[in-house]
A and B are shown apart, each in its own frame.
Chain A
Amino acid sequence: MPLQSIETVTGKLTWKRPAQTKPETRWRTAAQQRIYGQRLLQALKSARRSSSSSQPLAPSRAIKEAADSALALTAKGQTRWSRAILSRRWRTRKLLLKAGGKIRSRSSNPKRIGRPGLGSGSPSDPRQGEEEKVRVRLRVLSRLVPGCRKLSTPTLLEEAADYVAALEMQVKAMRTLSDLFSSATLSSRAES
């Protein structure tokens, strides 16, 4: 019995071990950024095309989803959050097909209210022990990282680290693109 428990624990750990050293270098390499830039552009193009035809989503929403799924594709589905993003996309699409767009508008509001409520309410409570505080934060964090609601703490932290690095890169790429486009449109506006 004790032998078995050790084996299960170690099995999990070694499965995670190779992925652990990767993210610190992976998302900050130029190659990864270039790949993501290409994917992002492709996704933007397709998002524009689909939104112009017939899509109930708002344009900014469509672009955000396109950028997210591009990010997940760049992560190659090796991490949990990327798989979650991809599957979420499929799920929402299926739901939208079923319900005709009624569900999304209802479900998006309480989520947005509920998130900061948990985050801001917990630190003000003085009688919480350190343990409890940490647990609450971890729950909040697990809700922030897609697809990590029911994970053990070490796995959650690992996923969070990878997700943070990926988000950083995404922000960088999107900012560059938007700067480029805005300056281009500025100049074209000045021209006309």
Chain B
Amino acid sequence: MSRALPEMLQCADLTVLERKRERMKWQQQQQYQQSYLQESQMSFIPSFQAEMLELPMMQEMSKNGAENGWPDLGKYQINDTESAAYLTAGFGAVADYGISRTASCPPVVGEEKGGDFPVPEKMVVKESSKKRRADKAATCLKANDVVEGTRDKRLKGDTNEEESKATEQNPTATTTTTNNNNNNSSSINNRETSADSSKENSKVSEVQKPDYIHVRARRGQATDSHSLAERVRREKISERMKFLQDLVPGCNKITGKAGMLDEIINYVQSLQRQVEFLSMKLAAVNPRIDFNIDNFFVKEMLSGCNGSYSTLGVSQELTNPVLLQFNPMHQGVTCSGMDMAINPSDITLRRTTSAPLSLPDTFVDSYFHANGSSSNNWDIDLSTLYSGDFQQGRQSGFPSQSLTGNLEVNNLKMEM
């Protein structure tokens, strides 16, 4: 907070009026934040905190300049210190687990404070996320503007180049290309001058995309239009063949078109046969699993709304009564999970740590007792695997069997 103000004052680009306005804004925001801090002092939960601390910080550090960045920076620093102090003062018990500040796990709070706070907490989280989104939107807009400016410049350069190139070509082609270039540059100019009605202009520019290609005849090559077209076609074919070659495994060593095509044909056939075989397999399995499909589908739907994962995870954690009465084993595990989740981009991990919470209590206990020893060396793949096991275990209600099927679920990550 105290660091943010001088930063602003040092900013040399701003005019006096702008500076004043910024200060007003800053003060308002500060007041707002203070009130909202007091309101939400008791309720810092890990995901919220981690997001507030890392995700926006990085984004804003990288994206925008001083005029937009400093209040937010100040805000996050405040949150950081406040919550840290709060943590160290309030929870000596947490320190026993050897967790960093981001791992202030909700179970502890729930145990000590009871169940009276979850509603304001949720509210606060939502509010903050909304605000953050607005900020992000603003920065994104700015970035877009800048990018568009540069792109326009680049496009202009390109057209100039192409005009100069086109003059070297044969006369029939030059007439068309120069026409197109003129159209193109004029459309670009339009876009630059009136940025408000960008929709119409983008449509116009889409229509007037350059519909020509450059073919340059080397010395001694034929320059009439038919052979030029033929050359273009052959280039296209070879390019696509190269692309297919990259796509088909084991096709890199083969030279010659026929061999490559053989390989491609074999691969396509094998894939189609695999699909047939798998559909037979699924048909054999299918009659018994219609209840499973329901479960699975719900889970996929949950994982589908990835964008709002944080609020979803939070609300899951909050609304779950299971969370408030754990055994310490599970606490430890969640804490280690949270430690891993310091990097906020680990969406899957965050989701999987909240996924076990939706399970019935007894099952969680048995499972964690079963492999509590392995909770030390968690990594991301393992945790997703575990969640797959959970799902499977819930489907069958038989955890020991699902442990044997551990390796087969290796691909499950793909589904998420």
Contact = CB atoms under 8 A, between A and B. Distances in A.
Interface of A: 2-3, 5-7, 9-11, 13-14, 20, 24, 30, 33-34, 37-38, 41-42, 44-45, 48, 58-64, 67-68, 115, 119, 123, 130, 133-134, 137-138, 140-141, 144-145, 153-154, 157-158, 160-161, 163-165, 167-168, 170-188, 190-191
Most chain B C-beta atoms within 10 Å of own C-beta, residue among A123, A144, A157, A167: A157
A45 B275 contact: no
A182 B275 contact: no
A6 B173 contact: yes
A173 B282 CA distance: 12
Query: Top 10 nearest A-B pairs by Cβ distance?
Result: A187-B401, A183-B405, A137-B261, A157-B240, A187-B396, A64-B279, A59-B283, A2-B225, A133-B258, A60-B283
Contacts of A38: 297, 300-301, 304
Contacts of B287: 48
B247 interface: yes
A160 B264 contact: yes
Contacts of B257: 130, 134, 137
Contacts of B286: 44, 48, 59, 63, 181
Contacts of A184: 289, 292, 392, 395-396
Question: DSSP majority for the A interface?
Answer: helix
B412 interface: yes
Contacts of B284: 60
Contacts of A13: 213, 232, 236
B275 A170 contact: yes
B285 A181 contact: yes
A54 B56 CA distance: 56
Given A48-B290, A59-B286, A165 B247 contact: yes
Interface stretch (B96-104, B141-149, B265-273, B353-361): B265-273
B366 to A, nearest CB: 15
Contact of A185 (B243, B268, B289): B289
A178 B398 contact: no
Contact of A41 (B243, B268, B280, B297): B297
Given A130-B256, A153-B233, A175-B278, 6 more contacts: A6-B173, A11-B211, A34-B303, A60-B282, A119-B269, A182-B285
Contact of B285 (A37, A165, A185): A185
A157 to B, nearest CB: 4
Nearest to A16: B236
A166 to B, nearest CB: 9
B268 A164 contact: yes
B409 A180 contact: yes
Contacts of B402: 183, 187
A190 B392 contact: no
A149 to B, nearest CB: 15
Interface in B150-205: 172-173, 175-176
Contact of B225 (A6, A134, A164, A185): A6
Contacts of B268: 141, 144-145, 160, 163-164, 167
A119 B265 CA distance: 8
Contacts of B210: 14
Interface of B: 172-173, 175-176, 209-213, 224-226, 228-229, 232-233, 236-237, 240-241, 243-244, 246-248, 256-258, 261-262, 264-265, 267-269, 271-272, 274-276, 278-290, 292-293, 296-297, 300-301, 303-304, 388, 392, 395-398, 401-402, 405, 408-409, 411-412, 414-416
Contact of B264 (A30, A141, A158): A141
Most chain A beta carbons < 10 A, residue from B173, B212, B261, B262: B261
Contacts of A173: 414-415
B303 A14 contact: no
Nearest to A171: B274
B409 A179 contact: yes
A44 B282 contact: yes
A45 B294 CA distance: 9
Contact of A153 (B225, B237, B272, B300): B237
A87 B385 CA distance: 39
Contacts of B264: 141, 160, 164
A41 B293 CA distance: 7
A181 B282 contact: yes
Contacts of B283: 58-60, 62-63
A144 to B, nearest CB: 5
B89 to A, nearest CB: 42
Nearest to B281: A178
Given A180-B392, A187-B402, A144 B265 contact: yes
A164 B248 contact: yes
Nearest to B267: A164
Nearest to B300: A38
Contacts of B278: 171, 174-175, 178
A9 B237 contact: no
A154 B236 contact: yes
